[in-house]
Structure 1
Amino acid sequence: MAILFYPEILVAIFLCLLFLCHLRCNKSRTITNWPVVGMLPGLLQNASNVHEYVTWLLKQNGGTFEFKGPWFTNMTFMVTSDHMNIHHMFSKNFSNYTKGQKFQEIFDVLGDGIFNSDSDSWTCQRKLLHTVLKDKKFKLFFEQFVKGKVEKSLIPVLDHVSSFGIEVDLQDIFQRFTFDTACLVVLGFDPNCLSIEFPDVSHAKAFDQLEECLLYRHIVPESCWKLQRWLQIGIEKKLSSAWKIFDQFIYKCISSRQEELSQSKAPKTEEENFDLLTAFGEQAEEIGGIIKSDKFLRDTALNLMVAGRDTISAGLTWLFWIVATHPHVEAKILEEIKEHLLDNGKSKDFNIDEIGKLVYLHGVICESLRLYPPVPFEHKCSVQFDILPSGHSIKPNTTMLCSLYSMGRMESIWGQDYMDFKPERWISERGRILHTPSFKFIAFNAGPRTCIGKDIAFIQLKIIASAIIWNYHVHVVEGHPVSPSISILLHMKHGLKVRISKRNV
């Protein structure tokens, strides 16, 4: 037990005692750099509202400030929402700002996947992902798959809850739907989480648990969570358990898929029997620098599922809350759907090109993502000394935390009406989608790491949103509290309780 005599562990124990005393005081938004404990007490005291708290601090400090952690804990980092700093780090001086070792330690569950990778490994994986996602076979499969899944899975559940007047958590529906779609697209397996029975699925719950536990590693000293991981207690014990459950699920899917493909003699069509993991396995042999193995497939699968499941479900949840609370927005979307997706008053078999004509819906989605980005913050780590456009000096190995949530609430970026929900800010006078630089609208990252799946995400969001809005009216349950959850993804803390009524169309 010699580990208990490390200075950082003693400090961590002291911090816990100090924080318990500090909680007796009234909450305050001010942040004080205390001797020994730094700014940690203020952060912990406002942890339940961390995104708004960080936004307030950034506004008070001109868009960038240095968070001083406790002594001996390696918890000091620079926080920014300055779009010129973002442009500098993500594009102009991209090579100097990597994910870094600290990010990889916090997100160790992601393994060596693309989100955790830097340098040659990242370059190879991005090239591989680009090759697969731009393939005609995948695009054809994806379009037909999403429409089919909406018709065969989502619509029957919404019909059921609307016909019985059932109060339902729309966030849970979206998470079940996107978990099913992510599993099917990535692994070739449909767990059928979304059905009128709303079954409990252990690996889906494990996926949620992983995300909740990972945020904990951001708001306590590294020594604390590493000690808990070593002792297998508290949050870290929950994380390890969830990790084990989900790994068992992924490896089983990989094994089953490989066996299925080895035994299949029938040739595959472009629409059938496609999954990203198989495509990745086939392409990996053709791209140098990637070692094909079950672990590579596991890491790839998990990274793709994080990208394809929770970002979409979180985006949909906030989008439908906004539509439900802005009747004029809902009315304009309905008019646009009627104009472009109907034939003699009936829904037609539309394609991607016709979905692209939903310009106002595109603006609604962008505006929702601006205010409620599914990934609320980004990590970077400096390699060499640098000076940001804001004038802040950055030492080597400095952790940079970029608040995407705060960026959507900055007058310097969006003007005085930054808190107004205005889809029109994304539409030109000629009725076309306006281009906004990615370093201002960073929901899909920026620079060389810009999300390759951005276009696919918009297609999926538009197909799902247009199908639901045209067929149903969503009523948020009166008095239901709406606030961001404390997680690495911007879910709703209490879900989105709604009643759904079918439209007479």
Structure 2
Amino acid sequence: MMLPFGYFELILAAICYYCLSAFRQRRRIMIDWPLLAMLPSLVRCVSTIHDRCAIILNHTGGTFLFKGPRFVNMNMLATVDPADIHHIMSSNFLNFPKGEEFKEIFEVLGDGIFNSDYELWRSHRKLTSALINNMKFLRFVARMNTEKVANGLIPVLDHVSSKGVVVDMQDVFQRLTFDTTCMFVTGYDPGCLSVEFKDVPFSKAMDDAEEAIFIRHVVPKSLWKLQRWLGIGKEKKLKQAKVTLDEVIRDLISRKRKDLREAVIVSKDDAKGVDILTSLISEPQSFGDEMDYDDKFLRDMVLNLMIAGRDTTSSSLTWFLWLVVTHPNVEKKIIDEINATIKSSEVENFKIFETEESNKLVYLHAAFCEALRLYPPVPFQHKAPVQPDVLPSGHRVYPNMKILFSLYAMGRMKRIWGADSWNFNPDRWITEKQMIRHEPSYKFLAFNAGPRTCIGKQVAFAQIKAVGATILHNYKFEMLKGHIVEPNVSVILYMKHGLKVRGLFALASDSDSDSDHGLGPTFCLGLGPPKKIAD
């Protein structure tokens, strides 16, 4: 039977449309292959995993079941559903600990607060809160941060400006926060941030460890365990990194005990405050717990706090600076707010901001919140239920099933943040009364949520705002085309190629100023504007 003229073309067009739709669907959603399931698709897109998660979760409504190979336990439920996150992180908290698999993946952290659960975690939480919220420590943090900005950051920025050399601002921020965190935690300044830009094995070891930990999330456990046994690939680097981390921390603890014995360190009543390690060694009885403060405990405590302090803060500062300089209207609002807040005599003079001053800057705070929304320092985390459960979204979960939160994707969800979710817009954080808008933690997860909400949130904001206000008030940044900015592949969200800066010139000094500084140098940043995530 002959088809009427035109029917064949219609059928062919329908088949083409179906094939094209299927192809586009496969691009959006990972292909479920026989036997290997979705693992090949995961491995193929691992270099752009954060953006890929954002695309998939936007397309699937916020929840997606990743199916691993049939012969390994790799099924994961990825979710950014605020109701699911609230259920897991708060209302049913006890059923969703970090779990043994998490501890195994992050074994380099030992038994520290990030790896622990239940009673051990409660003890760590109580102790860390007592240390960080202690007024002596907060005074110490404020003083050390100001001193490091004045004696470390400013000389480096002036140096690269006068020499016209290329510098990576991400590296500068990592060095800054490595020094300050080491000072906060141990009381010692490693002098990482200097014009010499000396190598820092401890910092390099932290980066290597974090990259290896990420790979453990995307390959079968049996594979990375085999690599660990053979001593190859990222597992080899992780082993070497652990040796370096252990050696450096052991030397710091030994030095601290020696200095305390020889009364080199100021007394605990010093009004200027003391570091965390000094408090732990010299006055353990004041914390009212039964923990054994041996070298293993101190090692795990120091490493956990070092990673929390260095990585999250430097990541926040890097993405913040890039976003601000690629949005001149935001930069102008921040500068106008700074000028309206400080004394008129300080507007044209070089100035280093302290915590009390930067805390008054509402729009600056909003800009940091927006940067954290789009580029959270910890881009994902995972949990595992102890007992079977049904999430508010209707998805069933069972013991040992990994539940993945993509914080990076969450900040880009249109159903959570609106049609402009991909856009950098600090105004979304400002209320009609010109105050910071509160967003629930299960929607804005940068500082975690529920009982595990970050203890150091206020300390972190104080530091990044003081640094942010100082560099934006004193320095002008200009863009240079060509440098690619994209996220790296690690458990900490850094820029894959860094944030390259070339000093151009220093503006003329103000003759009426008591400082040698004018308004500061102008920098060229190798950046392009943020790109919208494709559907």
Query: TM-score, normalization: structure 2?
Result: 0.86
- Cα distance between partner residues in 2 of 1:284 and 1:401: 37
CA shift, 1:403, in A, is: 0.5
Q: Which amino acid aligns with 1:255?
A: S
Q: Which residue of 1 aligns with 2:243?
A: 244
The match for 2:366 among 359, 363, 366 is 363
1:449-480: per-residue Cα shift (whole Å, max 9, x none)?
Answer: 00010011100000101111111122343111
Contact 1:140/1:270 (CA < 8 Å) preserved in 2? no
Classify 1:449/1:456 alpha carbon distance in 2 versus 1 (closer, same or farther; 3 Å). same
CA shift, 1:176, in A, is: 1.0
**Per the alignment, in what secondary structure is the counterpart of residue 113 of structure 2?**
coil
Name the Cα RMSD after superposition.
Answer: 1.7
Q: How does 1:106-505 map to 2 (within 5 A)?
A: 106-264=105-263, 267-268=267-268, 270=270, 272=272, 274-282=274-282, 284-285=284-285, 286-342=287-343, 344-345=345-346, 346=349, 351-500=354-503, 502=506, 504-505=518-519
Contact 2:213/2:491 (CA < 8 Å) preserved in 1? yes
Contact 2:389/2:397 (CA < 8 Å) preserved in 1? yes
Q: Which residue of 1 aligns with 2:515?
A: none
Contact 2:89/2:96 (CA < 8 Å) preserved in 1? yes
Contact 1:475/1:499 (CA < 8 Å) preserved in 2? no
CA shift, 1:288, in A, is: 2.3
**Per the alignment, in what secondary structure is the counterpart of residue 78 of structure 2?**
strand
Contact 1:183/1:191 (CA < 8 Å) preserved in 2? yes
Classify 1:453/1:197 alpha carbon distance in 2 versus 1 (closer, same or farther; 3 Å). same
- Cα distance between partner residues in 2 of 1:502 and 1:143: 28
Q: Which residue of 2 aligns with 1:100?
A: 99
1:245-272: per-residue Cα shift (whole Å, max 9, x none)?
Answer: 1110010001001100111165355455
Contact 2:353/2:466 (CA < 8 Å) preserved in 1? no
The answer to which of 180-189 and 346-355 deviates more is 346-355
1:260-307: per-residue Cα shift (whole Å, max 9, x none)?
Answer: 011116535545572112223456444324221101000000000111
- Cα distance between partner residues in 2 of 1:48 and 1:351: 39
Structure 2: state its 5+ residue gaps: 1-25, 508-517, 520-535
Bigger radius of gyration, 1 or 2?
2
The answer to which of 455-464 and 60-69 deviates more is 60-69
Q: Which residue of 2 aligns with 1:19?
A: none
1:118-150: per-residue Cα shift (whole Å, max 9, x none)?
Answer: 000110111111111111101111111111110
- Cα distance between partner residues in 2 of 1:420 and 1:61: 21
Contact 2:316/2:376 (CA < 8 Å) preserved in 1? yes
Aligned length: 479
Query: TM-score, normalization: structure 1?
Result: 0.92
**Per the alignment, in what secondary structure is the counterpart of residue 384 of structure 2?**
strand
CA shift, 1:349, in A, is: 7.5
**Per the alignment, in what secondary structure is the counterpart of residue 344 of structure 1?**
helix
- Cα distance between partner residues in 2 of 1:289 and 1:424: 47
Q: Which amino acid aligns with 1:450?
A: T
- Cα distance between partner residues in 2 of 1:207 and 1:410: 31
